[in-house]
Amino acid sequence: MCRRALWLLCAGLLFSASLGCYQCFVDVEESLRLCWGHILTEYNVRNVDACFQMLDRIFNNNQSVIEAGRVGKGYDQQLKEILDAEILSVVEEFSNQLNNDSVYEERLQTAADNFIAAASKLPRVSGCVPPCGVQSEGAVYNCITCQFDSCEFPLDCPVTEMNVTQYSSSRMWCQVPFQLPRDLEVIWRFAEKVKTQQVDQFKEVTVGVDRLYSIPSTRLQNQGTYQCEIFSGQRSIVRLYYYLAVTPQVVAGHTELQETFDLSLLPGGRLLPAPGGPPPQPPLLPSPLLLAACLTAVLLLLFLSLGTLYFLTVPERESDCEEQAHGDEGLAS
């Protein structure tokens, strides 16, 4: 029973070569060369199977090695170069020689440690952020599948619900929690009254680079689903959805506003007396004495003006008479 369990464990390790970076970057031929001289000291046999099991344990099933291999796009070639260099040095060292499994263990562990140290210095990325969007920038190398995770989530994001009161402002942002390309185009669309993600029900509203959709004063007809689609080049990256539910404004408030508006239209700008208030006062008129004083002042000013005008015109008349007399004397001579 124990032997069977042990064998199953070994078999699992033997056939778990689908995990880890080693299988992605190191050729089988190189591994066979590496393991050719492996001696299983317990039975004193040259056993290649046990060597491959050791490779799986040290590289493929080593979580530190796997984590060190999670690099960003474009750095997988450097990852391969690092691992190839480590393995190649061991291959050359053990080429055509017989070595005990303890020697293999020590040497391979050193190679793994060197790989971890070097690979960990390569740039990291944030990785895939669920639940939606094509996230090419966040792809991480997957040592299980030997390719970058494509982050191929659905284009359509879940619908976000928003509740606003009539006549209040509404804002919707077209933002995602992952890195986006620089060349973006944003299209806002609207499906009136319904909560939906069916593309054919939407009508295009705006096209541009504006990732904010703002409604200064929300009306009842603004209720519905808003879709924001982000493009890069000709390729759609993500579609966000907002369902805007508009709550009607209360009637009492509307009535008060209407009454205030009606009051402003009263003739003469007068306001209706408040109930229980004092009786309306008659319009105020100036006293008779004040009126007499005003009239006197006005008449005095008028006479002064006339007098001034008279005295200004007298010298002109006298000068005209003298000129006429001189003319008559000239004619007589």
Map the footprint of other proteins across residues 129-188, applying CB under 8 A. 142, 144-146
Which stretch in 36-44, 71-79, 189-197, 233-241 sits in contact with other proteins by CB under 8 A? 36-44
- β-bridge partners, 161: 243
Q: Out of 28, 117, 212, 295, which residue is the one contacting other proteins (CB under 8 A)?
A: 28
Q: Of 9, 30, 140, 49, give the one whose Cα is nearest residue 88.
A: 30
Burial 260-283 (b: 16+ CB within 10 A, else e): eeeeeeeeeeeeeeeeeeeeeeee
Contacts of 249 (CB under 8 A, 6+ apart): 165, 166, 167
The total of other beta-carbon atoms located within 10 Å of residue 174's CB is 21
- β-bridge partners, 227: 189, 241
Parallel, antiparallel or unpaired: strands 45-46 and 38-40: antiparallel
Q: Which is nearer to other proteins, 146 or 184 (CB)?
A: 146
According to the binding rule CB under 8 A, does residue 80 interact with other proteins?
A: no
Q: Which two tokens stand for residue 73?
A: 């796009």
Q: Out of 9, 41, 46, 117, which residue is the one contacting other proteins (CB under 8 A)?
A: 46
According to the binding rule CB under 8 A, does residue 42 interact with other proteins?
A: yes
Q: Out of 9, 18, 212, 250, which residue is the one contacting other proteins (CB under 8 A)?
A: 18
Q: How far is the CB of 150 from other proteins (least distance, A)?
A: 13
According to the binding rule CB under 8 A, does residue 250 interact with other proteins?
A: no
Q: Which is nearer to other proteins, 44 or 260 (CB)?
A: 44
Which stretch in 33-41, 177-185, 279-287, 319-327 sits in contact with other proteins by CB under 8 A? 33-41
Q: How far is the CB of 9 from other proteins (least distance, A)?
A: 11
According to the binding rule CB under 8 A, does residue 9 interact with other proteins?
A: no
According to the binding rule CB under 8 A, does residue 213 interact with other proteins?
A: no
Q: Of 224, 66, 90, give the one whose Cα is nearest residue 146.
A: 66
Is the distance from CB of 70 to CB of 149 less than 8 angstroms? Answer: no
- Burial zone of 29 (CB within 10 Å; 0-12 exposed, 13-18 middle, 19+ buried): exposed
- Which residues of this chain interact with other proteins, rule CB under 8 A? 3-4, 7-8, 11-12, 14-19, 23, 28-29, 31-32, 35-36, 40, 42-43, 45-49, 52, 142, 144-146
